[in-house]
Chain A
């Protein structure tokens, strides 16, 4: 009994640390996005709440939580309630295998990369269910678009991750980071990095692939009907996914977080900044162009890279 209590306490504390860190990270990621975009467009950005607007995300979050929760009468209420919770939970669960150093990780499992792939593939359900359960045309179309986009770009991303696994010879995240001691994987696998970056943009529904949220056509995508906490959970989940993707890219290609943790964090933040950079500069794709890009350009190219990596590994050994 005492043993179980100890396990529960330890696990709870550990997960609490991860969740709180993640939430703070998400809050300041939004601020970072607004500030960086403001700098690119020669504006000031948020600067009223707190010193240089540091408390802005807190104010936003408080505002969102305090608003009234609206559940549409025609909605399927159970699924309507489950969908945002699912999205947020999955985005948190993904962080459990993310290593923040050689020793510091919540759960060091052997097949960490596969775990991330598997769990992130469940993430589609939150969106598709939210779109269906709202019982509104805009939300439904947004959900369908978003799900199709995520499924099709997951294939290319999975192939690139497969080639990384083949190159590193392991599927443990920490071992992948240790294998990059001599040289970062971005050097031998540069085309793979470009493809993974594009696929990550599409996976997280970021511009230029933000079709589900195309304001002009679909109001706001799958989360039109959501307000207050539900919306906040979607928002949190989305940004947690963005941070995860940027950290994942840093881990796979930029050497990860091995010795110097500040330097490691800087890698992740630089990837995040490049996400924002893309948002600030590029226009949106058309839907058929998006699908063509996914299936007819990225997928064959990713297959080619995979074959190349296999032959490279065979030549080295």
Chain B
């Protein structure tokens, strides 16, 4: 086992433990904190494949923006912990299924990871092998090898010119449409609430001008004078 694979196994182990804690923990804040640890581990996995840019973006978006908002909202909501504790007992059975799934995914990742290493990609080409060996080979999956692209230039340049703005530009456009739908959808769902609040605010509006212009002589009068 080489050192990168060992590191990967350790990171995946941390991820698995944190997933269990997320499912088990009663206090949602602990769940979110463990989620942040998982995001960090994902970024570390990206770093082992030498993708600094993606790792930085991953932390910047997921940890720096999304999880903060989650934490923010969960802290402000008053949550009844005892009630959650009771309902959590129902879901003990599903834990087993979840664990099996996580183990399966880790197995796929570990078996898949070896192919990304550069030496083995070279070893796959049959011209380095003797004839008797190459006859035994069936069609081996040829993954698009981003690794060589990344080592030649910086990873940003590769991603920009080959993936996002190049051959895979339609994915980029579709992701943009999904974001747009998210924004429009929030307006669609909360429209009634917004309108209600606007009406409420109109009634409560402060008229600063009239408040400032108010004078002692005009506003306060003697009780008898009014009568």
Contacts and interface: CB of A to CB of B under 8 A. Distances in A.
Determine whether A and B are in direct contact in the complex, meaning some CB atoms lie less than 8 angstroms apart. yes
Interface of A: 79, 109-111, 114-115, 117-119, 121-122, 124-125, 128-129, 132, 140, 144, 147-148, 151, 154, 171
Contact of A115 (B56, B64, B69, B72): B56
Contacts of B60: 114, 117-118, 121
A113 to B, nearest CB: 9
B59 interface: yes
B36 interface: yes
A118 B53 contact: no
Nearest to B53: A111
7 contacts: A110-B155, A114-B56, A115-B52, A117-B56, A121-B64, A122-B59, A128-B75
A144 B64 contact: no
Given A124-B68, A132-B75, 10 more contacts: A79-B33, A110-B154, A111-B156, A114-B60, A115-B56, A117-B60, A140-B75, A144-B75, A144-B76, A147-B72
Contacts of A79: 33
- Taking residues whose C-beta sits less than 8 angstroms from the other chain, chain B's interface range is 20 to 34
A140 B72 CA distance: 11
A32 to B, nearest CB: 30
Interface string B74-98: 0110000000000000000000000
Contact of B52 (A109, A121, A128, A154): A109
A238 B76 CA distance: 25
Contact of A121 (B53, B59, B75): B59
Interface of B: 29, 33, 36, 52-53, 56-57, 59-60, 63-65, 68-69, 71-72, 75-76, 154-156
A114 B72 contact: no
A110 B52 contact: yes
Contact of A118 (B36, B64, B75, B155): B64
A6 B83 CA distance: 55
A125 B68 contact: yes
Contact of B72 (A121, A128, A171): A128
Contact of B65 (A110, A121, A125, A144): A121
A154 to B, nearest CB: 7
A111 B33 CA distance: 26
Contacts of A109: 52
Contacts of B155: 110
Contacts of B57: 114, 118
Contact of A132 (B29, B53, B64, B156): B29
B64 to A, nearest CB: 3
Going nearest first, the 8 A-B pairs with the smallest beta carbon separation are A121-B64, A114-B56, A118-B59, A118-B60, A118-B56, A111-B52, A111-B53, A110-B154
